[in-house]
Amino acid sequence: MSGPLEMLVTPQEMGRIDHAAAASGIDSYALMRAAGTAVAARLLARFPHVERVAVLCGPGNNGGDGYVAARACAQAGVPVVVHSLGDPAKLEGDARHAFDDAGMQPQALADYHPQGGDVVVDALFGAGLSRAIEGEAADCIDRIGEAATPVVAIDLPSGVGGDSGAVLGTALQAVETVTFFARKPGHLLMPGRDLCGTLSVVDIGIPARYASLADSRVVENTPALWQHVFPHAQAAGHKFARGHLGVFSGPMSATGAARLSAEAGLTAGAGLVTVASSGQALAVNAAHLTAVMVKRVDTLEDVRDFASDNRMKAFVLGPGFGVGAKVRDYALALRENALVLDADGITAFAEERPALAEAFSAGDTRLVVTPHAGEFARLFPDFVPEEGRSKLDAARLAAAAINAIVVFKGSDTVIAAPDGRAAINTNAPPWLATAGAGDVLSGITGGLLSQSMPAFEAAAAAVWLHGEAARHAGPGMTADDLPQALARVQRDGLFADRRFDGSAGRTS
């Protein structure tokens, strides 16, 4: 591969790429041989003392890769058994060719019973999985799961949808997955990402230029996506040059969320941060804030005044605010500004999405909404992920519907823009799912927006930094620890200690 491919390619696009490569004269059977051989090499490297390799071959080209791998393992001197789903006499094309070359007589899939010392090569279904797995394939997958036999999956663990990461019927849990040319969304979206185990991407000889046949706007979220517009603070910069962020506080009983968000915004580099608080909550906010300022905002008129100050560059509204007409009115009053709408601010528009979409419809994209799955379903009941619609599709549809950046949160947060750009985030550790973590994310996003970072890149950078901060903070952290951890991530050289060229895990 001439350069690492950041982009994610759907199984449909991969099919187009395969066809175009074959049509241009590239030998498709040579690609299959390269694929199957790479899988065998990976297996033997990971399990040098394997006692027996059990290759489970399906009815398509994924099975073809399996026959190549079976032969390569046998040639390496490892005992191999092959079990096929369906009659191998019906195989066609390259898969037929691979079966003939392997010269092995497969047994029925129903007759595979895992033994201690086995490693399974999963060549049942790859990109061509088109419906739920059931019957003897499902039974076999269950037996392997019960026996906890290690599985090396070809292209995708069987049962995982390549474009969604969803399980169709049932799926194998792999320890290794070897895919070809480029990763598919299902390798990054949950639960697919977990079911893959260690993922490697192998160059099987398809020229990288064929990537132009796929939609290059869908990528993994790494600094490569936004580093070029990241606002590294200038030593000589005035604090106003770094932008002023406003964060709206909830009532007296719910002020903590806004303060968490405000502190995160400051740490993310906003020059100034002000918590906008009702008079009633002013004292409690003031008592808990030092570097962050407090301003009294009681009425819609006050909000308009606050927003019209042209030093104000971005706002965060929603965390702890309360659901109702007030939060809607405030959001609509901020329509000319960069706005992060989170939590209650999202829920409040459940019945009034058109008003939100209308307010932010014209001009540059400046609204960022940050729903978790529950909030997403409230604001976008028409787009929730379901069969045939991945989380990636859902976020892109939602972004286009309201002309906003949609940050669809979770362990596989998707950041989507109305123009179709999208990124899947993969660096968030499970312990990030803790009370208040979402408030911190909205603050980081606001802090980056206040420094005039474009909205899509600001949201993607915020999600990545949030995950990175949580990794630094470690298990047992609370949301209160995140701003400090974020400072450490930035201080210790934000981009220094990790690789961002998308090549991690790639072999070629």
Ligand X SMILES: NC(=O)C1=CN([C@@H]2O[C@H](COP(=O)(O)OP(=O)(O)OC[C@H]3O[C@@H](n4cnc5c(N)ncnc54)[C@H](O)[C@@H]3O)[C@@H](O)[C@H]2O)[C@@H](O)CC1
Phi, psi of 118 (to 5 degrees): -75, 150
Is residue 320 near ligand ADP by the rule CB under 6 A? no
Backbone torsion region of residue 375, taken as left when φ is above 0, otherwise alpha when ψ lies between -120 and 50, otherwise beta: alpha
Judged by CB under 6 A, the chain residues 176 through 205 that form the site for ligand X are 180, 204
Q: Tokens standing for 445?
A: 């996003």
| Token code pair at residue 38 | 């790479």
When binding is defined by CB under 5 A, the residue of 158, 177, 179, 442 that contacts K ion is 158
Partner that binds at residue 191, options ligand ADP, K ion, ligand X, none, CB closer than 5 to 8 Å by kind: none
Q: Is 370 in the site for K ion (CB under 5 A)?
A: no
Contacts of 332 (CB under 8 A, 6+ apart): 355, 356, 359
Tell me: does residue 340 bind ligand ADP (CB under 6 A): no
Q: Where are the alpha helices (DSSP H) in 60-212?
A: 61-75, 93-102, 135-147, 185-188, 192-196
Where do we find the tokens 């979770």? 410
Among 172, 432, 460, 477, binds ligand ADP (CB under 6 A): 432
User: In whole angstroms, what is the distance from residue 220 CA to residue 423 CA?
Assistant: 5
Residue ranges of the binding site: 61-65, 122, 126-132, 155, 158, 257, 320, 372, 409-413, 438-439
Residue choice 54, 127, 459, 461 for contact with ligand X (CB under 6 A): 127
Please give the annotated binding residues for K(+), written as ranges: 62, 122, 158
Which residues in the 343-402 window bind ligand ADP by CB under 6 A? 372
Closer of 47 and 125 to ligand X (Cβ): 125
Instruction: State which of residues 13, 118, 122, 176 lies at the interface with K ion (CB under 5 A).
Output: 122
Residue 129 interacting with ligand X (CB under 6 A) = yes
Put the strands of the sheet holding 293-296 in their side by side order.
218-220, 422-424, 414-416, 405-408, 367-369, 338-341, 312-317, 244-248, 272-277, 293-296
Alpha-helical (H) ranges within 24-134 are 28-46, 61-75, 93-102
Footprint on residues 52-111 left by ligand X (CB under 6 A):
58-65
Stretch that binds ligand ADP, among 145-153, 205-213, 232-240, 427-435 (CB under 6 A): 427-435
Q: Pick the binder of ligand ADP from 93, 308, 435, 492 (CB under 6 A).
A: 435
Report d(CA 37, CA 145) in Å as an integer.
25
CA 201 to CA 183: how far, in whole Å? 7
Is residue 430 a contact residue for ligand ADP (CB under 6 A)? yes
# chain residues binding K ion, by CB under 5 A: 5
Task: Indicate the pairing of strand 414-416 with strand 405-408.
Answer: antiparallel
Which residue's C-beta sits nearest to ligand ADP?
438
98 CB-side CA count, 13 A: 35
Q: Which does 18 bind (CB under 5 to 8 A by kind): ligand ADP, K ion, ligand X, none?
A: ligand X
Q: Which of the choices K ion, ligand ADP, ligand X, none does residue 122 contact, using the CB cut-off of 5 to 8 A by kind? A: K ion
CB closer to ligand X, 157 vs 231: 157
Amino acid symbol at 255: T
Distance CA 444, CA 451 (A): 11
Residue positions forming the annotated binding site for AMP:
409-413, 438
Asked if residue 474 binds ligand ADP (CB under 6 A), the reply is: no
Nearer to ligand X, 212 or 310 (CB): 212
Our CB check for ligand X shows the closer of 62 and 261 to be: 62
> What residues line the site for ligand X (CB under 6 A)?
18, 28, 31-32, 35, 58-65, 125-133, 154-155, 180, 204
